[in-house]
Amino acid sequence: MSTDLQELFQSNRAWAAKTEAREPGFFTRLLQQQSPQYLWIGCADSRVPANDLVGLLPGELFVHRNVANLLVHSDLNALSVIQYAVDALKVSHIIVVGHSNCGGVRAAMMNQRAGLVDNWLRHVQDVRDAHEGFLAGLHESLQVNALVELNVLEQARNVCRTTVVTDAWQRGQSVVVHGWVYGLHNGLLEDLRITATSATEVGLAYDTALALVKQRYRQQQAQVLADTTAPATQNGALNAD
């Protein structure tokens, strides 16, 4: 086993050379300043590489990641990232991005114990408990991804409620908060449409997005029930989807 991780340094040298060849002066220009338009708040999951998913280069995306893409009101790390992004970098968009089959959300949903992280995931369980009735009505196969989306809505609303964002809105600075979800199975991002551009929009944006999530999962629930109760056809195949 390599202890000095030479393979990563080799890949790094190749990447830097390729980047410089494609765009001469790329790195020296980045030295002058970074001016990203977007702050990405995503999950730490290794399968969700922020820049790659949206095709953005170094310098174009400011990134904060933690387990289950949380914005906890007392998390000085995340709050500092938001403050620097909004006040210094003047990003135009803050995007909270969850992803399907999130291990952290799954553990929270199922009360799986993993150690210290359980305390962090307690925030996701608070989201779960707030929507207990809705989640309990869903087929087990739908519950984790439904909670992933509910969690995105909750965290996006938390972003809107930070002093940094409310102060920015109050002084007329343009900042748009978004909530998206990424499909591990297909590589596609979907907009959950909790888009807010001012403090007065947050409540309605949250309610509208929440209604859409519930509507979509109730449709999927109906489909799951239809699939599980439908008799097999003559060739033995059940409904294709």
State the catalytic residue, choosing from 64, 99, 131, 178: 99
Binding of Zn ion by 41 (CB under 5 A):
no
Binding of Zn ion by 149 (CB under 5 A):
no
Of 153, 155, 199, 154, whose CA–CA distance to 176 is shortest?
A: 199
How close are the terminal C-alpha atoms of the chain, in Å?
44
Binding of Zn ion by 154 (CB under 5 A):
no
The residue among 101 and 208 lying less far from Zn ion, judged by its C-beta, is: 101
Residues in contact with Zn ion, counted by CB under 5 A, come to a total of 3
Is 102 assigned a catalytic role? yes
- Cβ neighbours of residue 165 closer than 8 Å, sequence gap 6 or more: 82, 86, 94, 159, 175, 177
Among 39, 41, 43, 150, binds Zn ion (CB under 5 A): 43
Is 47 assigned a catalytic role? yes
The residue among 85 and 102 lying less far from Zn ion, judged by its C-beta, is: 102
Is 43 assigned a catalytic role? yes
CA 49 to chain centre: 11
* Residues near Zn ion, by CB under 5 A: 43, 45, 102
Q: Catalytic residue positions?
A: 43, 45, 47, 99, 102
